[in-house]
Amino acid sequence: MPHTLSPTSDLLAQTLALSGFHPRLPQQRRLYEAAKSAIHRQLLGAGSKLPSSRDLARDLGISRNTVIAAFEQLAAEGYVTSAMGSGTYVADLQAQRASMRGSGPAPRGSSQGRAARLSKRGRELTSFAAGPRFEIQPFAPGEDDFSSFPFKLWQRLQNRIWREARTDLLDYGQSGGHLPLRQAITEYLRLSRSVKVTVDQVMITAGTQQSLDLCAQLLADAGDTAWVEDPGYWGARRVFQSRELKLHPIAVDDDGMVLRESDLATKPRLIYATPSHQYPTGSVMSLARRRELLNIAVRKDAWILEDDYDSEFRYTGRPLAALQGLDIDDRVLYMGTFSKVLYPGIKVGYLVVPPALVDGFKSALYDLQRPGQLTVQAVLADFIALGHFTTHIRKIRQTYGARRELLRRTLVQQLTPRLGGKVTISSEESGLHLVVQLPDDADDVALEAAAAAADIRVKALSTYYLAQPTRRGLLVGYAYCTPEKIAHYGRILADLIADGVAA
């Protein structure tokens, strides 16, 4: 039987796998910092028993002496307590603080006071750090590779905007975003995605998360049901949970969402879908399923939220048309982002809403979000209008396509002779990650942890499910990773997979 990590080992392994988590400190100190952080954030609650030093060393792939040294430091500072023959436990920090200051109330501004002021919803949302657990990052160690971004060109365009000293770009913006950018996006979506859109329907947001949040706030009430793909995008689920919606998982196969009688017995208010390239499996929703979903949205009086998150990254053939282009009943809200095609930190996305919703969404965007960054929007508008966006997409498509092929070829060459047909690797010519499909009895969570111990960041497919997982696999990102690291660490990852599947 494959070894399964304890929840504590898994939590610490996920933290240590983050490239930005104290990368220059010795491993002993990194483990100490990871445990201390988890205790402060109450991810490890008072009284929680830690794994033995022997088990934790095995789970993390480090020496037992390293674990013992970290435990001793935590004990010396009062974070844990040890009992001979019983084990190591997380100390009750709040009780320690109370005893130090007596039984009076927590001082204003103290960390205990801040924690106590979190709402029930706040505690639920912060009790599970979803981002580090589910965000697909480059699978090899090192800095994210954004070398394809045209820094100098972008700087020239930015400098020109600032030299113009336009005061209108310093305000919030009340019309849904910078008009030239909305015009450029409108033209782009019409030509490349077959979206039916006018300039007035386009809203500029701070990315997909904000687009989803606006939709959840304006189109659903607390207690309403949202259909979500299963497995599916964790970020959408977190938004819906924050708005107190009930999540109903819809299974996904090679043709997209599979709507069963039990699903149709529920009444969704929102239906979240990634039809052009399902996240995370990579499947594409068939035309029959698309039409079925549109008909159901009309019958159920539901809104479809179409997340077209990576449509630019199709490496052979023309990108598939958007679901919104088939919608004749105005039930689809279409959203996209520039974070994938430019760089994550740009935080600029767009939301296309049906005509009847335009006024309400513009008002809410201003009232609730106070949009800004008009200078960035102006630079981006010029970047698109002058043809640089099209050139950039063509360039990175070639770059990422070559990296995808290199990773796939490396894994196939290493795994096929050893595992035969036990493991399959996604062949979709699109996206920013591959899915390594594992046998049903494989422990993909344990493989993720084993890879993390080797400084390789992959994600277990089974963890993306709301319902009982029906598939096991690993999600391996390749776009922001240099070819040299892909070749080297691809072989290491293949060895880990071969050993894990054979165990």
| 204 phi/psi in degrees, rounded to 5 | -90, 125
197 and 183 in a common domain? yes
Read off the tokens for 185. 């996006």
- Listed residue (245, 213, 207, 244) closest to 228, CA to CA: 245
**Same-domain status, 406 and 358:** no
Give yes or no: residues 252 and 359 share one domain.
Answer: yes
Answer yes or no: is pLDDT of 115 > 60.
no
On whether residue 262 sits in a domain, the answer given is yes
Task: Report if residue 186 sits inside a domain.
Answer: yes
Q: Is residue 487 part of a domain?
A: yes
Is residue 202 located within the same domain as residue 265? Answer: yes
Q: Is residue 118 part of a domain?
A: no
pLDDT in tens, 80-94: 888 766 788 888 877
Nearest to 369 by CA among 233, 234, 212, 142: 212
pLDDT score of 359 more than 90: yes
Domain boundary residue, one of 58, 91, 124:
91
CB distance 437 to 425 below 8 Å:
yes
What phi, psi does 306 have (nearest 5°)?
-95, 110
Task: Give how many domains the chain has, as a whole number.
Answer: 3
Query: Residue 142 has what pLDDT?
Result: 56
Q: Specify if 345 maps to a domain.
A: yes
Residues 411 and 349 grouped into a single domain: no
CB-neighbour burial class of residue 170 (10 A; exposed 0-12, middle 13-18, buried 19+): exposed
pLDDT digits (tens, 9 = 90+) for 117-132: 777 777 777 766 666 6
User: Is there a domain that residue 445 lies in?
Assistant: yes
User: Could you tell me whether strands 202-205 and 472-477 are parallel, antiparallel, or unpaired per DSSP bridges?
Assistant: unpaired
Domain carrying residue 59? 7-91
How large is the average pLDDT for residues 187-208? 95
Q: How far apart are CA 185 and CA 439, in angstroms?
A: 43
Distance separating alpha carbons of residues 472 and 462, to the nearest angstrom: 5
In a domain, 235, yes or no: yes
Assigned domain for 138 exists: no
Give residue-wise pLDDT tens across range 224-242: 999 999 999 999 999 999 9
Residues 284 and 160 placed together within one structural domain of the fold: yes
The mean per-residue pLDDT over the stretch 294-298 comes to 97
Q: Are 400 and 478 contacting, i.e. CB atoms less than 8 angstroms apart?
A: yes
Residue type, 417: P
413 and 491 part of one domain: yes
pLDDT of residue 1: 47
Pairing of strands 246-253, 225-230: parallel
Specify whether 286 is located in the same domain as 415. Answer: no
DSSP secondary structure string for all residues of 333-400: EEEEESTTTT-GGG--EEEE--GGGHHHHHHHIIIII----HHHHHHHHHHHHTTHHHHHHHHHHHHH
pLDDT in tens, 243-264: 999 999 999 999 999 999 999 9
Return the pLDDT at 129.
65
